[in-house]
Structure 1
């Protein structure tokens, strides 16, 4: 049809269209956000990669989002507040209702409040006036160290000055709110802003910006596009990769469906376990802004749709030049987390075996392989991501299990462990000076000393090479913490804090990283971004995001190490054709655990690093709250000190034989002969029942005189969720005189009765089948240790 129009008219129309396109393109450029929006990759003007030196093979773990997070990741402080529903201020809030995003939609005569800062060093935040923005009609009251300066509808100005305790604490309370236009979308914004082309530094005002650094962007006006605190970006820029496990809220997170994930529209991203977590959009945006590789950990209960949607978003939004490290859950072997219980239950449901711990490990490998396969399908290959299997730093045998099970090593690229040095809790409790702490942390024979940890690293590196995978560190660093304390001033916490602030700690970090590299370890994800020192540890490389380098010896040592060691990654190891363990069976007489000497009479029953009881020998239903336990043994020249902690929702003792009631059975082969049946001489079976004052010999046990039986003392104390056995077993009663490096075979069992009559279930430490009671070959070997 075009040939019917005059040529001059066609030229005129074409010029008009070109001019119109140019004009709208110019207007779009003028109106675009000055820094990248959260869902878009950064423009070249704001890319931070060019402003960061070449990083070594060191990465960093983020922190959990919460009001005590000293890394201060966001320019909007309210993003880290606790959800209103958690009512941390203990207000009259029973009748308050909330909208789908957690904003109080109707106070119903009450109040709704939360904390947005807590226990932070005063220097963690810049001085100045903070802008509070909100929508809706109502009133906000500020508390603790937050003071109102000026008020206008939808906009308050507050100050934040530490109180007499030298810590920053801040809260707010919505005291009045119109239900038809309720107070919502609260933002608490840092003072100042950034220069457009230099997002790593906060500036006070426009006078600090020029042509080279770009126009001034105030936080109050541009918080939505700036998103991240410049101090946070400046800290994170030096690391090669970012592990988002803490920031994503993985720990004890029950979410299973894609619609349950953290949302950009939620009132806050902070809170307790299961509530906190940043959206995936935020994590991807941070990696893109910094141009850093991303380490993602998927929730343990995530269904297939969740896994595929997660993979799809990462595929479509993460810079394709960045490497992805993909991990299923986090530390599923750690019984302190519900991830472990979940995988154990799933393994039992799949009838993988009797040992709850082992079937949990097996399910972990099965689900990890399924997730890797789904990501490969979504990505159309696996070139962009590294398939990571989590290990256990003190247990090379765990790595053997998960890598060898069903040839899992063929479906993974890397084994990751978390080597933490510093774990001699008993020694630390006896320490009087910081010098004592450093001595225990560096002494080769001290538990979890740096030399011992590096020896475990070497063993894992050998295993990784044997299976043809790369060795990574998903976490690592010092681990000085006493979980029995609850206050920072409790001993030995002041000594731990002082050690972390001592220049010698920087030297230990240098030795640690050099040892890791020399052993063949590749990317190490240090733990962690800046955190305050508290009773639960002093984990951060710095104690707050603005702490100077010269005051943070760990951080200074890490920067020096990175400057001296540029990355030179080794080629990917080749996979062996066959399972490396297929022709290398374990010696059945190798010790599985050690009994350490009980040199402190007051702590012989203190459970420290206990052994799990979760092998289901009898019964069909297993529940960690109803049939679960942990045990530990200590020894001296006269006694074996046996401790068993049982988790049982109901105690029953109504049978003639204690093994049919709630009771603990202890089996020991004193000469470690490990015969196929009880020998009647050296194989003892002791039963400790909740309703009896004296120990009972089990069927088939070696005989024991009445005097010997009476010499065995025990105490069984009831708790709200179970009971604890503490037993003093004289060696004389067992007819032995143990010495360092001797071995015995042992098994521990827990009998459970829930409804009277015969028992309903039994769990044990070591066994392959129900005959373990009379088959010492199935018991575990214990080594008597001198330390």
Structure 2
């Protein structure tokens, strides 16, 4: 009889390990591939990343993520990179004059003695924020701002992985939170094994380690995929681990350590990124998935250009959804709980990074409207105000509002305010306790901001907002506010129009109505809407407040859909179709005109003003067609709601400024390209300063458009020109400056 030489505990361990090896076919890869390759655990085989060699991937050719191993184990570097025999690795191929540093392959930084003040340096030139000019973007000129004199603002859409509004060139910023999956066992075929709570998470939202049979996945570009560019996406990460791609047609052209180049054809399902494994001693983090063409610009220019283009004419941007104000978490909200720039995603219930909001306002030159979270403590509010004061450009004002629609029972902040009001003995009735707490806390918030701004508090526009539909409710709330109204500068209301409750009172006949009949109901309802505006104008006047609109636009949606998701499909489809129809342009124009008729009245107290459209972009659904655009990059002139708003701006702004009248880029030490106005016609061309004659490019700037010289690539000798029409829509051109007849659109 066989005698077991091992103690019982060790025998049990050996049996478990044997069973695990047999049942999983698991074989350890040599040295774990040194984290320089992908480990096939079923065969115990390493597939080395580009730039590494040996069976255990221990050999490093020094490619640095930008080249391929040669036979002598040096690297054949990618275009833009060169082999350094001194450093034994690929480095930037960049020759900058006068001791100026490189900032990328073939990309020179700006002169450190003359840094960009209100702009961003790229390839030796300062790209100025709207309204600034000069070599260092230090000269402020309001006359060159696209939103000069505009009195229309925009509510930005929220940040979600399924949003149709893409804000960033690094789409990982709009990715889903991590979900767990099992690669083996009973749960291996499940979409989400619901084990996220068992993972040891770092502060930046990446796992510190992973069990061998668990992977993490996250979606991005869901719904927007059909509008996303096809091409070579760059995936970058720090640390060590292994990344995979699913749910999308893809081809990996390059897979180095820390860098992948993958051809993607995104669809409506989006892109699924897998974190297959991570080194517990150097965990994978700072994952970036970058749109084609932005690998060397995304850090300094994080926002997606079509997104910026759609915003450039608005004088104010409300960041309510951007900050996830409705139901913001945690409670209490502390400064340490805010979203950081380095977190794995900018989605989630604690909102996006405040720095992104400030940066966006700086670029566009639009006054930011910030909504303080309902459970924010005093330190959060103070630190928020301090950051804004320190980093927001000096010509902008700041709108401040406590939370959003604290009266609205569908949001957590309503219940919170009522709970706080009752606990503080403000009132025994929850609805009254709610508005009394709102008055108390919103007043405290405004005082905190004013304390931070000190003598510069005139830059602040504290906003008081309450329910618009029930006028007596707002009257009671204002009466409770009393003399504290002096802490505010504006009363804000909504300006939605439902065309005589088209999707409610007329729901039965709506599916068979003609668009003309629907438009007539909108027209007939305008006197009621204008009467509401006049009521609140008078109320604001009586309290020496300016009248503003915090949200407004088409609100043709079934109430039941918003409250609890119930809807009639035929009603939803007709409401969406009407929002897309040319008649909607007339309806939006009418409500803008009604607002102007009321708010342009002058009197001794502050007059009315800002119409804040809701919202910038969003996918139509049973919950409403709130987005002015349905997706980022939608052809602007094809959207009736966009046409109405921007034609209204052009009509009353008193100017047609949508782009700089002259712009220049440096091509060499003596050669420049530029666009300018000549004989009332926008033209573009090149010149040499030693022989100042212009060679112009034809058929670029059609009548009514302004051409802008956006940039020059010295490697490809491509010149980038943008033609901007009267509604701020852009057409882009790439000109081969070596062969001026070679042009792509």
> TM-score per shorter chain, which class?
0.5 to 0.7
Report if aligned partners of 1:437, 1:496 keep a CA contact under 8 Å in 2. no
Q: Deviations over 1:408-458 (max 9, x none)?
A: 322211011112111444335313447457645753899xx4443332222
Q: Give how far 1:518 is off.
A: 0.7
Asked whether 1:184 is paired with 2:258, we answer no
2:237 corresponds to which residue?
Answer: 134
Q: Give how far 1:183 is off.
A: 2.4
Report if aligned partners of 1:531, 1:544 keep a CA contact under 8 Å in 2. yes
Report if aligned partners of 2:229, 2:265 keep a CA contact under 8 Å in 1. no
Structure-2 separation of matches of 1:48 and 1:187: 27
Distance 1:494 1:260, change over 3 A: same
Structure-1 separation of matches of 2:417 and 2:180: 28
Distance 1:410 1:53, change over 3 A: closer
Q: Which moved more, 1:110-119 or 1:89-98?
A: 89-98
Asked whether 1:161 is paired with 2:265, we answer yes
Structure-2 separation of matches of 1:509 and 1:235: 18
Q: Which moved more, 1:414-423 or 1:130-139?
A: 130-139
Structure-2 separation of matches of 1:537 and 1:388: 26
Structure-2 separation of matches of 1:35 and 1:511: 52
Q: Give how far 1:376 is off.
A: 1.2
Structure-1 separation of matches of 2:260 and 2:206: 18
Asked whether 1:115 is paired with 2:219, we answer yes
Report if aligned partners of 1:85, 1:102 keep a CA contact under 8 Å in 2. no
Structure-2 separation of matches of 1:227 and 1:445: 42
Q: Give how far 1:72 is off.
A: 0.8
2:127 corresponds to which residue?
Answer: 45
Of 300, 312, 315, which residue of structure 2 is paired with 1:225?
300
Aligned length: 508
Q: Which moved more, 1:532-541 or 1:554-563?
A: 532-541
Report if aligned partners of 1:55, 1:239 keep a CA contact under 8 Å in 2. no
1:375 corresponds to which residue?
Answer: 449
2:582 corresponds to which residue?
Answer: 503
1:243 corresponds to which residue?
Answer: 318
Q: Give how far 1:326 is off.
A: 0.7
Q: Give how far 1:338 is off.
A: 0.9
1:724 corresponds to which residue?
Answer: none
Asked whether 1:470 is paired with 2:546, we answer yes
- Larger RCO, structure (CA 8 Å, separation 6 or more): 1
Question: 1:541-690 maps to which residues of 2 (within 5 A)?
Answer: 541-566=628-653
Q: Give how far 1:53 is off.
A: 5.2
SS at 1:314's partner residue? Answer: helix
Q: Give how far 1:100 is off.
A: 1.1
Q: Give how far 1:168 is off.
A: 5.0
Report if aligned partners of 1:136, 1:154 keep a CA contact under 8 Å in 2. yes
Distance 1:144 1:409, change over 3 A: same
* Cα RMSD for the two superposed structures: 2.9
Distance 1:350 1:445, change over 3 A: farther
2:38 corresponds to which residue?
Answer: none
Q: Give how far 1:56 is off.
A: 1.8
SS at 2:622's partner residue? Answer: coil
Structure-2 separation of matches of 1:487 and 1:119: 22
SS at 1:430's partner residue? Answer: coil
Distance 1:86 1:341, change over 3 A: farther
Q: Deviations over 1:287-342 (max 9, x none)?
A: 11111111111001111111111111111111121011111110000011111111
Report if aligned partners of 1:297, 1:330 keep a CA contact under 8 Å in 2. yes
Report if aligned partners of 2:245, 2:273 keep a CA contact under 8 Å in 1. yes
Q: Give how far 1:535 is off.
A: 2.3
1:692 corresponds to which residue?
Answer: none
Structure-1 separation of matches of 2:357 and 2:324: 12
Structure-1 separation of matches of 2:574 and 2:428: 44
Asked whether 1:313 is paired with 2:387, we answer yes
Structure-2 separation of matches of 1:58 and 1:65: 22
Q: Give how far 1:398 is off.
A: 3.0
Distance 1:414 1:322, change over 3 A: same
Q: Which runs of 5+ in 2 are unaligned?
A: 1-95, 121-125, 132-143, 182-189, 600-607, 656-745
Asked whether 1:419 is paired with 2:495, we answer yes
Question: 1:343-362 maps to which residues of 2 (within 5 A)?
Answer: 343-362=417-436
Structure-1 separation of matches of 2:509 and 2:354: 44
2:616 corresponds to which residue?
Answer: 529
Structure-2 separation of matches of 1:35 and 1:506: 49
Q: Deviations over 1:573-616 (max 9, x none)?
A: xxxxxxxxxxxxxxxxxxxxxxxxxxxxxxxxxxxxxxxxxxxx
Report if aligned partners of 1:428, 1:437 keep a CA contact under 8 Å in 2. no
Report if aligned partners of 2:149, 2:653 keep a CA contact under 8 Å in 1. yes
SS at 1:129's partner residue? Answer: strand
Structure-2 separation of matches of 1:228 and 1:134: 19
Distance 1:153 1:25, change over 3 A: closer
Structure-1 separation of matches of 2:539 and 2:515: 31
Question: 1:52-131 maps to which residues of 2 (within 5 A)?
Answer: 52=146, 54=148, 56-84=150-178, 89-91=191-193, 93-94=195-196, 95-108=198-211, 109-120=213-224, 122-123=226-227, 125-131=228-234
The two structures have a TM-score, normalised by structure 2, of 0.64
Q: Deviations over 1:201-244 (max 9, x none)?
A: xxxxxxxxxxxxxxxxxx21231111111111111111001111
Structure-2 separation of matches of 1:92 and 1:354: 42
SS at 1:429's partner residue? Answer: coil
Structure-2 separation of matches of 1:143 and 1:487: 34
Report if aligned partners of 2:560, 2:566 keep a CA contact under 8 Å in 1. no
Q: Give how far 1:567 is off.
A: 7.7
SS at 1:380's partner residue? Answer: helix
Q: Give how far 1:74 is off.
A: 0.5
Q: Which runs of 5+ in 1 are unaligned?
A: 1-23, 193-218, 569-787
The two structures have a TM-score, normalised by structure 1, of 0.61
SS at 2:310's partner residue? Answer: helix
2:273 corresponds to which residue?
Answer: 172
Structure-2 separation of matches of 1:221 and 1:445: 51
Distance 1:442 1:418, change over 3 A: farther
Asked whether 1:393 is paired with 2:490, we answer no
Report if aligned partners of 1:298, 1:328 keep a CA contact under 8 Å in 2. yes
Distance 1:517 1:331, change over 3 A: same
Structure-2 separation of matches of 1:183 and 1:450: 57
Distance 1:355 1:92, change over 3 A: closer
Q: Give how far 1:130 is off.
A: 1.2
2:708 corresponds to which residue?
Answer: none
Report if aligned partners of 2:249, 2:265 keep a CA contact under 8 Å in 1. yes
SS at 1:427's partner residue? Answer: coil
SS at 1:359's partner residue? Answer: helix
Asked whether 1:302 is paired with 2:376, we answer yes
Structure-1 separation of matches of 2:322 and 2:338: 13
Q: Give how far 1:488 is off.
A: 9.5
Report if aligned partners of 1:56, 1:567 keep a CA contact under 8 Å in 2. no
